[in-house]
Structure 1
């Protein structure tokens, strides 16, 4: 066999702590050859991203040290001078980072950041680089790429920012692509297109890919070989089909048993807890079905004819258009759709973080848009939000314990000693250790930060939670644990959830009803069983068909995702949206009349 593109040999990485050096990755070894995809899987905090950052030499020199060898085409990256390493980063190695908002510079336009990499590594003029940047943005299917090229990162949704990061990583045709959770923020249809794009570019350039992910369905679909990590150790590795068919370690069996599988809820009327998996034995116990929500209750949230529009110099973005739904105590309504379709904008409007252009939002019978400051403060007590980007929603200057403690003290729920005890309980509830309360957000992995955000949202015992991609950043075992926690709290307290997600397998298990959004409009809404068992709208059917199957034996059997032309949400200022009509298929199951769409 030819020399590997990347050879990691006995890599050990340690971080400096107050007690001395602490090893977080121990004795890791693997090779990746040209044209091969190696997946690294494991729970949040297992050392997956640290391994990738060690290879890129992006860990702080004064607080981290790596030993062993990391050979890129025979050159040891750990011994390269910094000026040579700068040429490697973005040139020979491209990297898609886990959190796109913190990886993009907020003071430069998207086009400027893409063009900079091309000027530095491909010796292009700025004019040539801008033209190539536009082509890359179109290739990762960003609508209206010509106008969005000159916009700043904060104007892009999480999924759109992730697409920009993918374009940037692939811009210089690297020999090795390190993809750290590259499709976490993307809905399944775009995920399928991006995975297809990466595979296409891999074939064209004979590129090696190191794919870090917690989505075992994606692993089954793309990985030739898989490495399983657990608490800093590499516990199992092998060809992907063999590892899925006959996992050797209990933890690997537990990972595979935790995978939510589409279709598992057939015949179940209400949500069902995820299987309880023993990591020591790998034995899974099927989760119990939850009781139905209380009947004949007043809605805790009522959204009527909600529209949200943003004016731009070149037109108007119709982000949300004429959206209506009710949400009752003890009920989970899942809001699904592709990135940029208006899901998060709708959730933020309910919390009055976005201002509606038209329509009405009632929370607990109170008009959110007209609430005075004191009323809005009370609303924050009963309604909370788990944000999509956990790093951006946590204050980097205060410890995570202080972040969870703050709302408890602000609302005067408990005295300080009891509030501190409550913080410890919340951290344990979401699978973290109470002694982590003194750490700061940058000291946690992406999945751990998401758990902290969930703990903070639960601190005030709210009646209603907007969960914006609440479990998307979590590995499968923790995703099951946190989803079960959310369902248990719902059963105990009658919590209502607006569950914004692109993970259709989780949506099928956790939701009572599902609303499908497409370009700012709800195109189909109904009971979970009706949506998954009798989808009527073409976009809903496309969403369900795009869910990756966690079975390597089925790789290549599904048709390639259809090439759908990206539509632009930007309309002329005088555009008047048509009035939509809906057909009722079965009781409570409505689909937009395509003739009126």
Structure 2
């Protein structure tokens, strides 16, 4: 932002002025405040970020501004001024005219915001027909213009397509087009990039900034990602447990943050390139949110015995999914999800599989676990060919290889106490008595940073980070040698993510565990990995030691992934990143398609790149 722009923002009448906002919910017959005395302004053309962990009150703040909370169980106090009007004093009929017209909102998950029964074009046109005097033909033409504006290719031909035909990034673009349809004064973006791959996130952030420059729209950006805050925000509001603990220019917050919680958030942000000089994975610093003091991060002490036989050997693993269509279900094509993937994993080592959604990394993990059956290849776990094992052999193999899934709540039975969930595999494999299982559960809960008495609670009584710790404890119950961690920290807040990663590194050091770490977060991958494998369209296009891959990336796709990572430095906010405005190509191929195995050249010892 130029000095003239900053000065005009400072002196202009705010588009939005929130004063002493307090939001309470009715709980057991009493009003419980969850957001207390929050105040901030958003000037014309300005981007203000509200940042904090889950439960800090940031989304409740945005929903309060839009008055989207249930009226009979919520109470909003204070003043919310928009264009000289107090939104809290408006009748509901007038408030409906404000929503989508003066203020628009982009939600975190576009698929839950889009109606699957209506076409994309009809849903955007509806906003135009409701708020602007237009004929259907004019609304269609304007919708196509908006779709082109948000960089959706072949916009006119995609007007009549349904949401399920769009990728996650494209659906989020549709939501932005819908929000901009009536040219609102204020755009509220509630975690709009959290569920997206790093390259798609970069495209969406660039798109919001470009549209803001063209339209002069003010943006209220809700996020827990400090890297995104540095990328997009002029000013930042830090929230903690429902209260506003610090407000100021983004650069001041990053360089001179005063509140201990602000410093804790910033210290937990992985910075791409910060691992230079470190050979082994590096723990995140642990910060006391009360004092702001942190410990000194140290490298893990484990050493990988590369000369020993790998604990996991994957050779030419291939998985394809058949596509049937037509009345008689004729085979019309195949999804080439995994093609000739090969790698080794040693005890005490972390190998990270990275790439965008659809590249085949999760399918690789599931094929290794035999949760899906591979077409060909071999998976040798602790000397046994997993793909050739019978039912009894597979049962025994589960002791060697365990998996941690992305969503801990979905992988825990809500009706079973967590102690029983952790004990179940121990008892099923007859590794001890019920009394021994109880002792084992208590020991595992302590190992993952919880207390033994928590064994009696149900999953819904825990936070997201605690639930992921429970899933880690359950995976450790059988004393495995290999753990497949499939996006195991991607859904967690930045500080909780740091805690869980530290836990995984400590367990690896103490138990000599091997991790196959599946992720799309390049900054986290750099922090935790010994080696890295980059996947694109089902194939590994680059693999090697972490320092070699990050210090000297050779494949164009690897460089694209790294270029898209948000830089947590507000001084570089106005720099234009070179991020290709496309998405990963489709892995669907004709029935008779024959794929050629990749050839690799060795850049340095152990560092291979596809040619």
TM-score (norm 1): 0.84
Separation of aligned partners in 1, 2:208 and 2:316: 40
Aligned twin of 1:494: 512
Find the counterpart in structure 2 of residue 230 from structure 1: 240
Counterpart-to-counterpart distance in 1, 2:77 and 2:400 = 50
Alignment CA distance shift 1:565-1:490 (3 Å)? closer
Q: Which of 312, 316, 323 does residue 305 from structure 1 map onto?
A: 316
Deviation at 1:410, TM superposition (A): 5.1
CA distance in 1, matches of 2:280, 2:211: 43
Determine the structure 2 residue equivalent to 1:269: 279
Q: Distance between the aligned counterparts of 1:134 and 1:579, measured in 2?
A: 43
Which residue of 1 is the match for residue 402 of structure 2?
384
Deviations 1:184-223 (A, max 9, x none): 3333332222210111122233222222222222211110
**Shift, 1:485, TM fit:** 0.4
Match of 1:342 in 2: 360
- Secondary structure of 1:302's partner? strand
In structure 1, the partner of 2:175 is 168
- Give the aligned partner of residue 567 of structure 1: 585
Per-residue deviation at 1:256? Answer: 1.9
Q: Which residue of structure 2 lines up, in the alignment, with residue 587 of structure 1? A: 605
Equivalent in the alignment of 2:132? none
Provide closer, same or farther for how the CA distance between residues 478 and 430 of structure 1 changes in structure 2, counting only shifts above 3 A: farther
Is the contact made by 1:166 and 1:182 (CA closer than 8 Å) also made in structure 2?
A: no
**SS at 1:261's partner residue?**
coil
Aligned pairs for 1:320-359 within 5 A: 320-359=338-377
Q: Which has the larger radius of gyration?
A: 2
2:453, 2:220 → 1: CA distance? 33
In 2, Cα distance between the equivalents of 1:364 and 1:147?
50
SS at match of 1:170: helix
Distance (whole Å) between structure 2 residues aligned to residue 22 and residue 201 of structure 1: 39
Aligned with residue 220 of structure 2, among 210, 217, 220? 210
Q: Secondary structure at the match of 1:318?
A: strand
Deviation at 1:411, TM superposition (A): 5.1
Give the Cα–Cα distance (whole angstroms) in 1 for the partners of residues 366 and 239 of structure 2: 36
2:263 paired with 1:249: no
Distance across 1 between alignment mates of 2:125 and 2:573: 38
Whether 1:10 and 2:14 are equivalent positions in the alignment is no
CA–CA separation in structure 1 for the residues paired with 2:417 and 2:111: 21
| 1:118 counterpart residue number | 124
Relative to structure 2, which stretch is displaced further, 409-418 or 561-570? 409-418
CA distance in 1: counterparts of 2:69 and 2:318, whole angstroms: 44
- Structure 1 stretch displaced more, 334-343 or 358-367: 358-367
Structure 1 residue 500: Cα displacement: 1.4
Q: CA deviation at 1:237?
A: 0.4
Of residues 246-255 and 232-241 in structure 1, the stretch that sits farther from structure 2 once superposed is 246-255
Aligned to 1:466: 484
Q: 2:441 aligns with which of 416, 422, 434?
A: 422
What are the ranges of 5 or more consecutive residues in structure 1 without an aligned counterpart? none
- Give the direction of change, closer, same or farther, for the CA distance of 1:422–1:22 in structure 2 (3 Å limit): farther
RMSD: 3.9
Moved more, 279-288 or 336-345: 279-288
* Bigger mean CA deviation after superposition, 313-322 or 199-208: 313-322
1:530 equivalent to 2:548? Answer: yes
Distance 2:523 2:348 in 1: 21
SS of residue paired to 1:579 = coil
Matched, 1:39 2:49: yes
Show CA shifts across 1:384-431 (max 9, x none): 333334554455666767765655665566638964993796389367
Alignment CA distance shift 1:434-1:208 (3 Å): farther
Alpha-carbon spacing, 1:450–1:182, altered in 2? closer, same or farther (3 Å) = farther
Any unmatched runs of 5+ in structure 2? 1-10, 130-134, 326-331
After superposition, the C-alpha distances for 1:569-592 in whole angstroms (9 at most, x for unaligned) are 222222211221001122211110
Q: Is the 8 A contact 1:327 1:496 kept in 2?
A: yes
